[in-house]
């Protein structure tokens, strides 16, 4: 049986091997998740130093330039990554594009505003109804944080003064702290009161750490109490 061999230019082989060693993204573009897919793909490509193909800064050298072959190989590799980060039906629409930047810009223009409102509304509704209930403190905090980060993708502001941006982020973090504390189970009322009485308030991560430690302490106390009760019961039975 004959074996098909694909030869890559020597300079492009490290790139192919490097890209093939890790998944592109778990958020494949389906028409409704552009922002999540955009962020995860951008991180992947920038992490491999090929963001110039998305911004257009990596210009194609003249055809007679020895570097043109390398550029073409890397451009095709990034194009392949972008198309593979889409569902099959959507990716088929981008197969005839010439450069990676065209695919990147076209996907943005086509899907960046489509259904964003409904997606934002769905996240807000989930946050509104979310309570700790059966979640551990860690799982509950991670769920909240993931939803908040998704909201951040929708809220892009350009601040004339960097200090205003820092102040706004501080206000948002304080709201997140109140939201986290207000959604905890009643069994954690004591630690919630202690945190709210702290001046100034700790950071969001600091608040989480305090609450998690309290949850761990309660679990240890419960195990110790149950163990003591079982020992006492065994002693009585022996008597």
Per-residue pLDDT tens listing for the chain (239 residues): 444 343 444 544 455 445 554 567 788 888 888 888 888 899 999 988 999 999 999 998 888 888 889 999 999 999 999 999 999 999 999 999 999 999 999 998 888 765 567 777 888 899 999 999 999 999 999 999 989 988 887 776 777 888 888 888 899 999 999 999 999 999 999 999 999 999 999 999 999 999 999 999 988 887 766 545 554 555 555 55
Q: Which tokens sit at 196?
A: 């709210």
DSSP 11: G
Q: Residue 71 corresponds to which tokens in the numbers above?
A: 């550029």
CB 101 within 8 A of CB 36: no
Close Cβ partners of 156 (under 8 Å, ≥ 6 residues apart) = none
Tokens of 15: 């790139």
The span from the first CA to the last CA of the chain, in angstroms, equals 82
CA-CA distance, 38 to 34, in Å (whole number)?
A: 6
Q: Give CA–CA dist 104/116, Å, rounded.
A: 18
């Amino acid at each position: 049986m004959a074996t098909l061999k694909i030869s890559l230019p020597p300079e492009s082989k490290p790139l192919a091997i490097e890209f093939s060693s890790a998944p592109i993204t778990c958020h494949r573009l389906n028409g409704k998740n552009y922002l999540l897919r955009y962020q995860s793909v951008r991180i992947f490509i920038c992490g491999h130093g090929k963001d110039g193909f998305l911004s257009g800064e990596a210009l194609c050298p003249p055809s007679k330039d020895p570097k043109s072959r390398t550029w073409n190989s890397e451009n095709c590799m990034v194009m392949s990554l972008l198309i593979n980060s889409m569902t099959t039906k959507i990716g088929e629409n981008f197969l005839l594009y010439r450069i990676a930047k065209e695919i990147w810009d076209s996907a943005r223009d086509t899907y960046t505003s489509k259904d964003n409102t409904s997606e934002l509304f769905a996240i807000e509704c989930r946050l509104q109804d979310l309570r700790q209930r059966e979640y551990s403190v860690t799982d509950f905090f991670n769920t909240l944080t993931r939803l908040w980060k998704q909201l951040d993708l929708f809220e892009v502001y350009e601040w004339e003064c960097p200090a205003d941006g820092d102040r706004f982020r501080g206000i948002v973090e304080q709201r997140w702290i109140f939201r986290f504390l207000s959604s905890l189970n009643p069994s954690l009322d004591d630690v919630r009161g202690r945190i709210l009485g702290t001046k100034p308030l700790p950071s969001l991560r600091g608040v989480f750490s305090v609450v998690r430690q309290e949850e761990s302490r309660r679990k240890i106390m419960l195990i110790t109490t149950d163990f003591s009760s079982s020992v006492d019961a065994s002693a009585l039975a022996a008597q």
